[in-house]
A and B are shown apart, each in its own frame.
Chain A
């Protein structure tokens, strides 16, 4: 998955319009974010990217770019 695909995936997750996210957004302040969406995000990372999200790292993340950085090599440029 590349960065643009991830941003659109994330937009779908929080029910935002496609191509509206830049990555700089504080995801917890987005209207579609909730603890249940967090669970879905963690499940997606596990199932689709084979990446186990640490709850601590997730708690420390502020922006969508932080999430992308956390996913590291699993998201291409």
Chain B
């Protein structure tokens, strides 16, 4: 039976694989037949994700993505071991809700770094000869907060909006090299990480958040399915696009 989402034979690198959306992306891609390269700072938590994966041949690569100047060499070295990458999914990121008056100027650089600096350096690393396969798919994880506003989300929106903006330019620049670039803007799909954010909210605030998603709040699997659509052959004619997976949050 034809499965257009089949990832058999594909090697996909996933950042932020230790938890949250990243670990779900690893799981979903493995269930579709992909070999996954799990990237994160802590190999012990990557091992936990690895245990959940289907199939064999997955690889753990402990690396601190904030060391952006090392990304290019590290990706070349990784591809030497694993073979060229059919896809790279940048899930590593942080949550933040903070009133403007509590913002410290240094927070801005620190926060933007993981999305923008690391994201651009991953794209630069992936485009090297031998690092990407003949055709490859780069997917960034953004948020509806990159599309619409919310109090306390100024810095977070800046980071997520930047991912959406840079996706379009990168898609145009990398299309001749066979690399598609897309971004998934997710609504609220609770993970262990975001549950800590939930703990910072009153039941009324959580109820409001739920009401703002006409289809109800999502699951990490909903986001991972969209990622798989973009890394799979299903996405072969899609580039420079923001795929919004938000239960209707931005339809209002």
With an 8 A cutoff between CB atoms, is A43 at the interface?
Answer: yes
Q: Are A55 and B102 in contact (CB under 8 A)?
A: no
Q: Tell me which residues from 30 to 72 in chain A have a Cβ below 8 Å from any Cβ of chain B.
A: 34-40, 42-43, 52-56, 58-59
Q: How many residues on B have C-beta within 8 angstroms of the other chain's C-beta atoms?
A: 15
Q: Are A55 and B97 in contact (CB under 8 A)?
A: no
Q: Are A42 and B151 in contact (CB under 8 A)?
A: no
With an 8 A cutoff between CB atoms, is A5 at the interface?
Answer: no
Known: A15-B101, A34-B99. A39 touches B203 (CB 8 A): no
Q: Are A36 and B203 in contact (CB under 8 A)?
A: no
Tell me which of B102, B152, B200, B204 contacts A42 (CB under 8 A): B200
Chain B residues, Cβ within 8 Å of A53: 199-200
Q: What's the Cα separation between A38 and B205 when bound, in Å?
A: 11
Q: Are B99 and A42 in contact (CB under 8 A)?
A: no
Q: How many residues on A have C-beta within 8 angstroms of the other chain's C-beta atoms?
A: 17
With an 8 A cutoff between CB atoms, is B98 at the interface?
Answer: yes
Q: What's the Cα separation between A40 and B97 when bound, in Å?
A: 9
Q: What's the Cα separation between A15 and B152 when bound, in Å?
A: 17
Q: What's the Cα separation between A38 and B197 when bound, in Å?
A: 12
Q: Tell me which residues from 176 to 206 in chain B have a Cβ below 8 Å from any Cβ of chain A.
A: 198-205
Tell me which of B97, B198, B199, B202 contacts A36 (CB under 8 A): B97
Q: Report the nearest B residue to A35, measured CB to CB.
A: B205
Chain A residues, Cβ within 8 Å of B204: 59
Q: Report the nearest B residue to A36, measured CB to CB.
A: B99
Q: Tell me which residues from 1 to 53 in chain A have a Cβ below 8 Å from any Cβ of chain B.
A: 15, 34-40, 42-43, 52-53
Q: Are B203 and A59 in contact (CB under 8 A)?
A: yes
**Nearest-CB distance from A60 to chain B (Å)?**
10
Q: Are B203 and A40 in contact (CB under 8 A)?
A: no
Q: Report the nearest B residue to A40, measured CB to CB.
A: B102
Chain B residues, Cβ within 8 Å of A36: 97-99, 151-152
Chain A residues, Cβ within 8 Å of B102: 40
Q: Are A38 and B152 in contact (CB under 8 A)?
A: no
Q: What's the Cα separation between A15 and B101 when bound, in Å?
A: 10
Q: What's the Cα separation between A49 and B63 when bound, in Å?
A: 31
Chain A residues, Cβ within 8 Å of B203: 55-56, 59
Q: Report the nearest B residue to A42, measured CB to CB.
A: B200
Chain A residues, Cβ within 8 Å of B199: 42, 52-55
A contact residues vs B (CB 8 Å cutoff): 15, 34-40, 42-43, 52-56, 58-59
B contact residues vs A (CB 8 Å cutoff): 97-99, 101-102, 151-152, 198-205
7 A-B residue pairings within 8 Å (CB atoms): A35-B205, A37-B99, A39-B98, A39-B152, A39-B200, A40-B98, A55-B200
Known interface pairs A36-B98, A55-B201; 8 further A-B residue pairs with C-beta atoms within 8 A, sorted by A's residue number: A15-B101, A36-B99, A36-B151, A39-B97, A39-B200, A39-B201, A55-B200, A55-B203
